[in-house]
Chains A and B, each alone.
Chain A
Amino acid sequence: MDLTVLLVKGLIILIIFVITLTIAAYSTYGERKVAAFLQDRIGPNRAGPWGLLQPLADGGKMFFKEDFIPAQASKWLFILGPCLAMLTALMSSAVIPFGDTIRFGDYAIPVQAIEINIGVLYIFGVVSLGVYGVMVGGWASNNKFSLLGAIRAASQNISYEIALGLSLIAILMMTGSLSLRAIIDEQATFFEWNIFTQPLGFVIFLTCAFAECNRTPFDLPECETELVGGYHTEYSSMKLGFYLFAEYINMFVSSAFIAALYFGGFHYPFMSEISGALENSLGVIAGHNVATAIGIIMFFAKIFFFIFFFMWVRWTLPRFRYDQLMNLGWKTFIPLAILNVVITGAGLLYDFKYATWVIAITMIGMVIVSNARAPKREVVRPGVA
C-alpha cells in the first residue's frame, strides 16, 4: 500500500473518531435543547452564544468533581466498568461507510475506517459487548441498587438482541452480503431503500435499538424512581461522565446504522443525475469528490434526524414497566421477526421484494378492525360534566 493512501486512510480514521466525539458532546446540548423545546422552556443559554459552549462547561465540571470510590467496592473493576463502556461505544463506528469514494490521481479511497466483509456482524458483536461496561460497573459498586440495574441491563440487552438479529437477517437475505457497503449499494434507487421493502423489520430494529441503547422508554437499568440512579448510583466525576458519554456515542452509532441499513446510507433521490452533471461541469475527479461530499452531507442529515428522533421519543413517552418490556421483547417482537424472515424468504423465492408489506397491511387492518369493534367511549366535554 502506498504511503499517501495510508496517510489518507489514517486521516479518515482520525476524522471519524473526532466527529464521533464531537457529535456525542453536542448531543448532550441537543438533548437539553430538545427537552426544553418540548417542555416550553428555553434550555441552556448562558455559556457562549445560544449556550453553545455548554458541553465544554459540563465537561470541565465533570473533571473537577471529586472522584470517589466506595470503600467496599472492587476497585479495579469499578474503574474498568466505565472504560469498557467507552471502549465498546467508540469501536463500533469503525465499519460504517460514511460516503462513497474520494479520488485523487489514480487512487479511489472509500470514506470508511475499515472495509471488512462481515461489517454487520462486527457491529453486532461490539454492541453485544457494550453490556459488560454496565454489568461490571454495577456489580463492582457493591450496592444493591447498582446490582439490580446491572442485572436489568443484562437481561434487557440479551432479550432485545435476538429480535434485533432476526430483523437484520431479513436484510441480509435481501442483499446476500454481510458487508455494510454492499448493503448500502443495494439501495441505490429510492424505492429500493430497505424502509420500503422491510417496513416491519425497520420498526422492530428501531425499537430494539432503543432498548440496546438503554434509552427511554426502555431505560429500566437507570430507572430513578425505583433504583436511585441504577447502575451508576455510586459513580461520580468523569467515570459517570464516561457512562453518560458512551450512551450518546451509542445513540450516534445506532442512528448511523439505521440510516445505513434502512435509509440508503449516503444515497439520495436523483443521485446519479446530480453526480453525472457535477462530473460534466467540474471534471471527472473534482466532480466525483463533490458528489461524494454531498452524499456524506445527506448521510449526516439522516443521522441527525434519527438522533433527534431518539430525543423526541425520550421526552414524549413514559417508561415501560419491566414485565411489559420483557413481554414486548419475547412475545411480540421475536415471533414477528421470525414471521418477517419467513415472508421475506417466500417473497425472494418469487423474486418479489415488497412481500413483507403483507404483514404490515394485515397488522394495520387488524388494528382498525379492533378499534372499530371496541365499545365507544363517551366523550367528556369540559364544562358539561
Chain B
Amino acid sequence: MTETIDFFKSLTSTGYLFLVLTAITLFSAIGVVTARNPIYSVLALIATFFCLSGHYILLNAQFLAAVNIIVYAGAIMVLFLFTIMFLNLRREDEESKTNVTKMISVVMGGVLMVMLITIFRAKSAQVPTYSTTAFNAKTGLVENLGLLLYNDYILPFELASVLFLVAMVGAVMLGKRETGDRHF
C-alpha cells in the first residue's frame, strides 16, 4: 500500500496525465467491444483514437497526433458511422453470433494477445533508455520526421505510397458502374 502511495507521489504532472489518459483509453476501448448498439461502438472507437492522439502529444509527436485525428477520427470513422447509419442496425443481428463464431473469435483474440505480449517482452523490442540531457526535444516534430522519412526510409515510404496508389485504383475499379447497372 505504501509502495503505491510512494509511486503516485513520485509521478510528475506528465505521469498523472499519462495515467488518466490510459484509463480513459482502456475504458473506451472496452466500450467498443461491449457496446450493444453499433453506433455507440463507433463513437467509443472515436474516443479511443482521441486518447491515442493524446498519448502522441505526451510523447511530443504533434504531427502524428494531428494526422491521427484527421485520418482516423476525421475521415475513416465518419465513413464507418455513415455505413452503419445506412444499415440501421437497431435490432441485434443474432444470426452472425453463433457459438462457433464466438469460440473462434475468443481463440483468435487470445492468440493475438499472447503474440503481442511476447513481442513486447522480447529483448530486441525493449525501449532503449535515453539520457535526459542528450535527448533532443524536437525528435517528434514534423521537420525531423520529414527529414527521417525522406533520407533514411525513402524506399519503404515510396513503396507504401505505391501501395496506396494501387489501392486507390482498385477502389475506383470496384466502384465503377458497369453497363446495365442500376442507377440510384
Q: For the side of the interface on A, what is the size category?
A: 20 to 34
Give the A-B contact count at a CB cut-off of 8 A. Answer: 64
Which chain B residues numbered 73 to 106 have a C-beta less than 8 Å away from chain A? 73-75, 78-79, 81-82, 85-86
Chain A contacts of B46 at CB under 8 A? Answer: 132
B66 touches A151 (CB 8 A): no
- Give Cα distance in the complex from A136 to B43, angstroms: 9
Chain A contacts of B70 at CB under 8 A? Answer: 121, 124-125, 128
Partner of B141, one of A117, A131, A136, A161: A117
Q: With A128-B74, A139-B39, A178-B142 in contact, do A118 and B82 touch (Cβ < 8 Å)?
A: no
Partner of B81, one of A118, A122, A154: A154
Chain A contacts of B74 at CB under 8 A? Answer: 125, 128-129, 161
Q: With A116-B62, A158-B75 in contact, do A151 and B82 touch (Cβ < 8 Å)?
A: yes
A129 touches B62 (CB 8 A): no
A147 touches B85 (CB 8 A): yes
A170 lies within 8 A of chain B by Cβ: no
A327 to chain B, nearest CB (A): 14
A contacts with B: majority SS: helix
Chain A contacts of B18 at CB under 8 A? Answer: none
Which chain A residues numbered 90 to 139 have a C-beta less than 8 Å away from chain B? 116-118, 121-122, 124-125, 128-129, 131-132, 135-136, 139
- Give Cα distance in the complex from A154 to B79, angstroms: 8
Partner of A125, one of B66, B79, B142: B66
Chain B contacts of A340 at CB under 8 A? Answer: none
Which chain B residues numbered 130 to 184 have a C-beta less than 8 Å away from chain A? 141-143
Which chain B residues numbered 35 to 80 have a C-beta less than 8 Å away from chain A? 39, 43, 46, 62-63, 66-67, 69-70, 73-75, 78-79
A202 to chain B, nearest CB (A): 22
- Give Cα distance in the complex from A136 to B44, angstroms: 13
A77 lies within 8 A of chain B by Cβ: yes
Q: With A131-B78, A157-B78 in contact, do A139 and B85 touch (Cβ < 8 Å)?
A: yes
- Give Cα distance in the complex from A42 to B72, angstroms: 48
- Give Cα distance in the complex from A129 to B46, angstroms: 10
- Give Cα distance in the complex from A118 to B82, angstroms: 29
Chain B contacts of A178 at CB under 8 A? Answer: 63, 142
CB pairs A–B below 8 angstroms (26 shown): A116-B62, A117-B141, A118-B62, A121-B67, A124-B70, A125-B66, A125-B73, A128-B70, A128-B73, A128-B75, A131-B78, A132-B78, A132-B81, A135-B78, A139-B39, A139-B81, A139-B85, A147-B85, A154-B78, A154-B81, A157-B78, A158-B78, A158-B82, A161-B75, A178-B63, A178-B142
Q: A124-B70, A128-B75, A135-B78 are in contact. List 15 more A-B contacts (CB 8 A).
A: A77-B39, A77-B43, A116-B62, A117-B62, A117-B141, A121-B70, A125-B74, A128-B69, A135-B81, A135-B82, A136-B43, A139-B81, A150-B85, A157-B78, A158-B78
Interface residue ranges, A against B (CB under 8 Å): 74, 77, 116-118, 121-122, 124-125, 128-129, 131-132, 135-136, 139, 147, 150-151, 154-155, 157-158, 161, 178
Q: Which 8 A-B pairs have CB atoms at the shortest separation, nearest pair first?
A: A128-B74, A121-B66, A125-B69, A125-B70, A154-B82, A118-B66, A118-B62, A125-B66
